[in-house]
Amino acid sequence: QVTLKESGPAVVKPTQTLTLTCTFSGLPLNTDGVRVGWIRQPPGKALEWLARIDWDDEKFYNTSLKTRLTISKDTSKNQVVLTMRDMDPLDSGMYYCARIGGSGWFSYLDTCGQGTLVTVSS
């Protein structure tokens, strides 16, 4: 059974860089077909997809946030790391990592982590 757990700072200052870690358990990240993504949810608002990294290290980003995001993985620790630069108070909210199910343009969030709350404030 695959489980995911997010970790990172609860508070970051405006203009700082946020680094979040997703610890993936139950399957090696470099297993054929494994894909992990990040989504976020501002308080009281809808889900927003951020980025995805695949078992073969292919990466995909939200086109609107692409210049601020970097996704990577550390297979030795079985972790996926997301960095978001130039943080703004509007970036506050819950950040979830998720195992991506399906394939190609028929993908979905198969399993989500519990999420981590990030507040951007000076």
Partner 1 sequence: QSVLTQPPSVSGAPGQRVTISCTGSWSNIGAGYDVHWYQQVPGTAPKLLIFGNTNRPSGVPDRFSASKSGTSASLAITGLQAEDEADYYCQSHDTSLGASLVFGGGTRLTVL
Give the residue with the Cβ less far from partner 1, 5 or 19.
5
User: Rule CB under 8 A: which of 85-114 touch partner 1?
Assistant: 96, 101-102, 105-114
Gyration radius of the chain over CA positions:
14
In angstroms, what is the minimal distance from the CB of 10 to partner 1?
16
Question: What tokens were used for 45?
Answer: 């608002």
Residue with tokens 């550390």: 74
Residue partners of 52: CB distance under 8 A and separation at least 6: 35, 36, 37, 38, 59, 60, 71, 100
Q: Which residues pair with 54 in a beta bridge?
A: 35
Q: Which of 1, 31, 63, 67 binds partner 1 (CB under 8 A)?
A: 63
Kindly report the CA angle at 60 between 59 and 65, in degrees rounded to 5?
Answer: 125
How many other CB atoms are there within 10 angstroms of residue 56's CB atom? 10
In angstroms, what is the minimal distance from the CB of 81 to partner 1?
19
| x-or-dash string of contact with partner 1, 3-42, rule CB under 8 A | ----------------------------------x-x---
Give the residue with the Cβ less far from partner 1, 62 or 75.
62
> Is 56 in a helix, a strand, or coil?
coil
Size of the site for partner 1 (CB under 8 A): 24
Name the residues that contact partner 1, by CB under 8 A: 37, 39, 46-49, 52, 60, 62-63, 96, 101-102, 105-115
